[in-house]
Amino acid sequence: DAMVIQNPRYQVTQFGKPVTLSCSQTLNHNVMYWYQQKSSQAPKLLFHYYDKDFNNEADTPDNFQSRRPNTSFCFLDIRSPGLGDAAMYLCATSGRGPGRETQYFGPGTRLLVL
């Protein structure tokens, strides 16, 4: 029944050790998003894909990369995590429609950097 699935739900990594977060969706939506959400803050958009077209937000650090090998899967790579990268990472999807797009969020991956 799950529509947007994120793995793992919790990830602990060491300072500077690369980490990959994954997202999959069963909605067949063409748009996928990665957000970073820190405690008591608004979700911050890092990347989004329209189909395979990758779009990077201007203020997303170079340390963050993303891959979307097919419609269903999307990955977030953090090449050298710093303490400031500890956060909840949210994946979301939306379908293309006239006028508006409704986002469906996954449960998130909580990243802890030691």
Site residues, other proteins (CB under 8 A): 4, 6, 31, 33, 40-43, 45, 48, 55, 88, 90, 92, 94, 99-108, 110
Kind plus residue range of the DSSP H or E element containing 90: strand 87-94
- Smallest gap from Cβ 49 to other proteins, in A, equals 10
Residue at token pair 């909580």: 110
Q: Quick one: 90 or 113, whose CB is closer to other proteins?
A: 90
Strand ranges of the sheet holding 19-25, from the earlier edge strand across to the other edge: 4-7, 19-25, 73-78, 64-67
- Smallest gap from Cβ 91 to other proteins, in A, equals 8
